[in-house]
Amino acid sequence: MKLFKSLLVAPATLGLLAPMAVSANEVTINDFNAAEELAVTNSRIDGLEARFNNLEAGSFSETTSASFGVDFVVGAEDGATSEATAFGYQMGIGLQTSFTGEDSLDVAIDIGDGTSGALAFDDTSDVLTVDGLTYTFPVGGASVLVGDSTDVSALYTGACGYSAFTDYMGNCGTGSSVGVGGSGVTAAMSYAFDSGFSLAAGVSSPTSEILGSGDISATTDTTVTPNVTTKGQDIYGIEAAYTADSYGVSVAYADYDLGSTAWGINGYYSFDAVTLSAGVESVDDGETAEGFFVGLSFPEVGAGSLDLGMGTTGNFKDGDPEYYTYEASYTYPLNDSVTITPGVYVVEGTTDVTGVALKTSFSF
């Protein structure tokens, strides 16, 4: 910018000097004040610079931000219908803006081709899909959320300290209660007390089938999930949670409009070098079915972290055969934006499946 000013000042000065040379009899050298002329020119340049900066800053809202994440997974399974090496990816785009400094308008956009088996991503068939559109704002001391294509549990606190590698371990095995979903119009509210307690509730009118974690492949035909396969059915949920420095617990209840209900509880406790997480869930659709999860997380193993987990592959009725899944994964950050996670897993069923996969995650 200094060079830019100099280039403008030079011709301006020459333009002032030229008339003086021609009309020397009319103007004396004392009539020319170089300091004043430079000040005027600098003022004009500063004005142009300010206008340019304002134009540049006004191109985007100062309160709007964007975040991006990409996951790639490559792996193979032994015992599955297809034992070929599979590749899948998923990209998420998050847009957030605020109008008052206390509210938040959020848009989540996903694209992916999905994978098969235990590492299933959301399959959008390579088409950009709006995965959630929400507006969150304060009312008194509470937070209120309204939106579309989002979960009833969007404002739940939860108490799962485990980083799941396979789909079965999500929400510490309580995906139909603490992690209750939703895909239609949703309204939710939460309130956090100073003591560490929090309460949250939500309601959703889904426009498509909603399934919680533990909704298992065809290898386990005795798995029970809430009966919410009919479009247009409402889901109601409520959660109470308590979190402290080294432990937390969450209890949730969900009521599905077709007559299914679900109870779930998950929690964690952090020791010096390991965090223990656990969850249990019960689903009642006329008959009671139960499932559980337990996991260990080691946050400092070399340069990365290690997670070991096991649990049921769903919620099973009394007397029915139960199937279990086991997994181990190691998460290693290559840098602030790239993380790699190799892992292995075993999923029991009428045919046992053993898999190995590598996930690479980018955030920017």
pLDDT digits (tens, 9 = 90+) for 5-64: 444 344 444 444 444 444 444 444 445 455 666 666 666 666 656 555 554 444 456 788
pLDDT digits (tens, 9 = 90+) for 177-223: 999 988 789 999 999 999 999 999 999 986 544 444 433 333 334 55
DSSP type of residue 24: T
pLDDT at 3 over 50: no
Averaged pLDDT score across all residues of the chain: 82
CA angle 215, 221, 222 (to 5 degrees): 85
Query: Please, where in the chain does CATH 2.40.160.10 lie?
Result: 64-363
pLDDT at 271 over 70: yes
pLDDT at 142 over 50: yes
Task: Report the pLDDT averaged over residues 295-302.
Answer: 96
Using DSSP's 3-state secondary structure scheme, residue 3 falls into helix
pTM attached to this predicted model: 0.75
From residue 149, how far is each of 50, 258, 287, 294, 329 by CA, in Å? 43, 20, 30, 30, 31
Task: Report the pLDDT averaged over residues 86-99.
Answer: 92
Task: Report the pLDDT averaged over residues 324-335.
Answer: 96
Q: Are 150 and 134 in contact (CB under 8 A)?
A: yes
Report whether CATH 2.40.160.10 matches the domain 64-363: yes
